Structure 1
Amino acid sequence: MIRVIISTMFVQMKQSFARPMFRFCLIANPILNTILLYEMYRDSGETNYMAYVVLGAGLMGLWGCICFSSAGDINRERFSGTLALIFAAPATFPAIILGKIIGNTLMSLLTMVISLITARILFRIPLQLVSPVYFLIALFAAIISFIVISSMVACILTLSRKTELYMNCIEIPIILFCGFVFPVSVLPSGVRIISYALSPTYAVELMRMAVWGVTDTALFFEKLGALMGLTFIYAIFSALLYKKIDRRVRISATLEVA
């Protein structure tokens, strides 16, 4: 299974980069978002706004790549006539899809590097990373969380014929609800309930804490625990969802285009 995941991951990275839309999300999107967020924040009076600019633009690009690659892979496989073959393959459908998602997610991390380089070259403002160890912990937890979310979305979209519609619908709401470009605290209290039910909210807050410097270790690990707890719940839900989908597909055989 590990060999299947690794080989699928490398094949997926090559195929994804060959697509113009993915290259736009990976390269152009973080550059444009960095410029946009810098113009939004430079006269805001916020002293640490570069963390919002760089992290926000990088995470927006990362989430965009996930939406238009990991979720879109189901649609591409369906229209290529290979979704049913992958589903019934001896290598197992979850292993193949997980390999695709890991490949896309790891390659999408380049959006954060591109955003940082863009901010440094265009605006000459360095981004200081006060707590690098905590940042690596937060980044690793965020990667796991995004992989699990992508797996859950892929399972949900397996039976849908409206994949492209849903891909476009989930991109902006997650960016807004999870505070990619502004603190969640500015949202209405009712909306914040949704925000804190989504694991990316905690991932963003953890990375910002690490950039500014972790002064409250207990709070950091409290948020980290919440992030990993939600990720675990998502993983269980994804596994249960796959079992239900697997049973339905084998009975109705509805994976083809028609």
Structure 2
Amino acid sequence: MSRLRQLWVCYRLQLKVMMFSPFEGFLAVVFPLMFATAALLVYRVNNDPEAMLFAGIGAAAMGIFTSQTTSAAMLVQRERRAGTLELVVAAPTPFAYVLLPSTFAMATLGLYSVVAVILWDWWLFDLPLQVENWPGFVLSILMATFTIALFGFLLSVTVVRYRTAWALGSALEYPGWLLCGFVVPLSLLPGWALPLSWALAPTWGVAAMRASAAGESPWFELAVCLGVGLAYAVLAAWLGVRLIDSARRNATLALT
């Protein structure tokens, strides 16, 4: 119970910080609408309703992914700049139990983008969302959010040793949109890029969203999405211990 309370407190506090942060608030509120507008303006040229719906669903998921890449990469860096990273690492609570609820808070804020983009598409482009399987669609959104949070957890752990972690997160944002098939079909990607796409949980999450919208079964995509996300969590937990131990041995944790 004490561990669950600690996770809840970290999650709630991080969510409050993000909601009242000017940068995080702008990123969460404005960016998803900008990205959705740009994507749908491109697709509207051909006047293809199916393509517009494809892009609209992908654009709704882009906001969740965007809420993780740059923010999760900067998570440890913010602690380092504030001079609290050493205290967090030295605390009895495992380092992973501090990062994990923080990335889930970021993903929770990213859920706003799904609703906002759907309403934005309907209001600006007259593109109502047509969903045949609403329970599967909602479950797919939640699964995509869950696994993207675990991807952010892995990213935040991986960059603990780097000064310019924010740059790595920003560099992953736009290639991730392509590799996950948010606005471009995976069939248009070169063959060597497909294994990279399959290794990204959001690829399967957005595929499940589209399958549910079309009235098809999303269960295979959901199962793969969950499996890949849990692999992220296991790898991040293992890396967290190894990287922190290495930083302690080499006295490189501060990296200011």
Q: Which TM-score applies when normalising by structure 2?
A: 0.92
Superposition map of 1:48-197 within 5 A: 48-197=50-199
For residue 27 of structure 2, what is the aligned residue in structure 1?
Answer: 25
Per the alignment, do residues 190 and 257 of structure 1 end up closer, same or farther by CA in structure 2, a change over 3 Å counting?
closer
Three-state SS of the structure 2 residue aligned to 1:256 is: coil
The alpha carbon displacement at 1:140 in A equals 2.4
AA partner of residue 108 (structure 1): G
2:255 and 2:248 map into 1 onto residues whose CA distance is 16
SS in 1 for 2:45: coil
Select 2:231's aligned residue among 230, 233, 237.
233
1:241 maps to amino acid? L
1:211 deviates by 1.4
Structure 2: gaps spanning 5 or more residues: none
SS in 2 for 1:43: helix
Cα distance between partner residues in 2 of 1:25 and 1:60: 12
Alpha-carbon displacement from aligned partner over 1:58-93 (angstroms, at most 9, x marks no partner): 222221211232221111111110111111112322
**TM-score (normalised: structure 1):** 0.92
The RMSD of aligned alpha carbons is 1.7
Mapped partners of 2:39, 2:55: distance in 1: 5
Q: Which consecutive residues of structure 1, in runs of 5 or more, have no partner in the other structure?
A: none
Map of 2:253 onto structure 1: 255
Give distance in 2, aligned partners of 1:102 and 1:231. 13
In 1, are the aligned partners of 2:147 and 2:201 still within 8 Å (CA)?
yes
Percent of pairs with identical residues: 26
Task: Kindly state the Cα deviation for residue 55 of structure 1 after the two structures are TM-superposed.
Answer: 2.3
Q: Letter of the aligned partner of 2:231 in structure 1?
A: I
Amino acid at match of 1:243: V
Looking at structure 2, the residues matched to 2 and 245 of structure 1 have their Cα atoms a distance apart, in angstroms, of: 25
In 1, the alpha carbon distance for the partners of 2:57 and 2:94 equals 36
Cα distance in 1 for partners of 2:15, 2:220 equals 34
**What residue number does 1:35 align with?**
37
Q: For 2:245, give the aligned amino acid.
A: R
- Counterpart pick for 1:243 among 241, 244, 253: 241
How many angstroms apart in 2 are the aligned matches of 1:26 and 1:54?
A: 17
1:137-167 Cα deviation digits (max 9, x unpaired): 2222212211211111111011111212211
Alpha-carbon separation, structure 1, partners of 2:163 and 2:253: 9
CA distance in 1 between partners of 2:111 and 2:53 (Å)? 16
Q: Deviations over 1:13-69 (max 9, x none)?
A: 121123222222211112112221221112335332343333222222221211232
Native 8 Å contact 2:95 2:240 kept in 1? no
User: How far is 1:132 from its partner?
Assistant: 0.8
Amino acid at match of 1:102: F
State the number of aligned residues.
254
In 2: Cα distance, 1:179 partner to 1:90 partner: 41
CA contact (8 A) 2:106 2:149 kept: no
